[in-house]
Amino acid sequence: MQPDSASSTPPPAGPPIVSLLEIATAFGRIGTTSFGGAVTSWMMREVVWNKRWLTEDEFLTGLAMAQALPGVNVVNLPLWIGYRLAGVPGALAAASGVIFPPGMFIAIFYAFYAMLSRYHETALALQGAAAAAIGLSLAMGLRAARRQVRKVIPALILVATFVAVGVLHQSMLMVLLALAPISVGHAYWEVKRL
Amino acid sequence: MKDNILLTLLVIIAPLSLMSVGGGQAILPEVHRQIVLNLGLVTETQFVTDFTISKMAPGPTSLMISLMGWQAAGWQGMVVATIAIFAPSSILLLLMARIWSRHSGAAWQKAVESGLAPIAAGLILASTLTIARALGGGWLAAFVSLVVTVVMMATRINPLWMIAAGAGLFMLTELV
């Protein structure tokens, strides 16, 4: 597939010509050094300021899309950046960089864990690590929730989602089909009203 | 038999890729419900292990789905699970990329973004509950989780230190 720089709707600003290998290595480096949050700001520093591949506006447009559409931000954003730089092949190169090198890490970690699993201490250490990881996850959830509970409707949607999925074990598809139209519809009404 | 498991993984995980609003963590309750509870392809302990390893290693939490694929059906399972979790959402994003940038800042985009945010937050909290229940740790686990939560909310410390501290503390209990 060709990068679509010459098609009828070219990207607004002309991004620089970057090779697929450059894209893959840049995101491979970001992927293997990204632990927990702050990955997007690190990508912005790298892509916008250091390499000057995209303008800040283009980056932020991509970030909004990466967050709004399904999928992982850490993968969606590279897809968008790679796509702007070199079309679909660029997108694949960027996504591969953030998926495969960390994937290797995880496989190696797991193999190492499996090797040590006959020791009782390994199971204990993993339980302790799991308890801490649950704390990381709770902090992430609370941070995301903090912004939503200031208004009545988003707060109700949040609680309804949590109860239906977390407590009542309802099918996620059903919960999304029921709540997403209400929540997005309400958000649309709010945007239009302002 | 194995082909059946691979197909099952694909059929369960690929739709979840398109449902992962607010990142990979949001789908964990559903992954747990289907793959651990309904099908028993992965045990509770494996589920917790995969989550924990994905938090210890770099990269997205969604990579734990790859590990679950490995446990359910070997390396082919890992490949199928990885493709199933990343490909559908990636294809959707690329299909939307043009339309999205052409209408950048449009009302419907803001509505989708802010309308899905409370659902994403609810799902992340639900996933935390799912994992905590799967771990089934006692008071020490609950204590560690809550201390880590407070520290992470209050400081900008590297999360890896928290994981190392949790592991270390549990190993110390062996000595006393």
Amino acid B91: pLDDT? 97
- Look up tokens 């790859």; give the residue: B66
Amino acid B14: pLDDT? 97
Query: Do residues A69 and A95 both lie within one domain?
Result: yes
Q: Which chain B residue has its CA at the smallest distance from A32's CA?
A: B58
A5 within domain boundaries: no
Q: How many CA atoms lie within 13 A of B66 on its CB side?
A: 24
Query: Do residues A107 and A147 both lie within one domain?
Result: no
Closest CA to B60 of A179, A139, A106, A63: A106
Neighboring chain A residues of B142 at a CB cutoff of 8 Å: 131
B156-161: average pLDDT: 90
Query: Do residues A34 and A86 both lie within one domain?
Result: yes
Closest CA to A91 of A105, A77, A70: A77
Taking all residues of chain A, what is their mean pLDDT, rounded to a whole number? Answer: 89
A3 within domain boundaries: no
A152 has a chain B CB within 8 A of its CB: no
**B171 CB contacts (<8 Å, ≥6 apart)?**
A121, A124, A125, A128
Query: Do residues A143 and A83 both lie within one domain?
Result: no
- What is the number of CB-based contacts under 8 A between chain A and chain B? 355
* Nearest-by-Cβ selection for A148 from B118, B127, B153: B118
**B122 CB contacts (<8 Å, ≥6 apart)?**
A145, A157, A158, A159, A160, A161, A162, A165, A166
- Of the three residues A113, A138, A153, the one that is the final residue of a domain is A113
CA distance B83 to B88: 8
Q: What is the pLDDT of residues B30-84, one digit of tens each?
A: 999 999 999 999 999 999 999 999 999 888 999 999 999 999 999 999 999 999 9
* Nearest-by-Cβ selection for B48 from A101, A107, A130: A130
Query: Do residues A56 and A127 both lie within one domain?
Result: no
Amino acid B176: pLDDT? 73
Lowest-pLDDT range of A160-164, B128-132, B155-159: B155-159
Taking all residues of chain B, what is their mean pLDDT, rounded to a whole number? Answer: 94
Which of the residues B114, B135, B155, B158 would you substitute to probe the A interface, choosing the one with the greatest number of A C-beta atoms within 10 Å? B114
Residue A103: is its pLDDT beyond 90? Answer: yes
Chain B: give the shortest CA distance to residue A156, in Å. Answer: 9
Q: What is the pLDDT of residues A127-176, one digit of tens each?
A: 999 999 999 999 999 999 999 999 999 999 999 999 999 999 999 999 99
Which of the residues A106, A115, A192 would you substitute to probe the B interface, choosing the one with the greatest number of B C-beta atoms within 10 Å? A106
Chain A: give the shortest CA distance to residue B4, in Å. Answer: 23
Q: What is the pLDDT of residues A5-60, one digit of tens each?
A: 444 444 555 677 889 999 999 999 998 887 655 688 889 999 999 999 999 999 99
Which residue range(s) make up the domain with A131?
120-193
Domain extent listing, chain B: 2-136, 138-176
Query: Do residues A15 and A99 both lie within one domain?
Result: yes
ipTM: 0.94
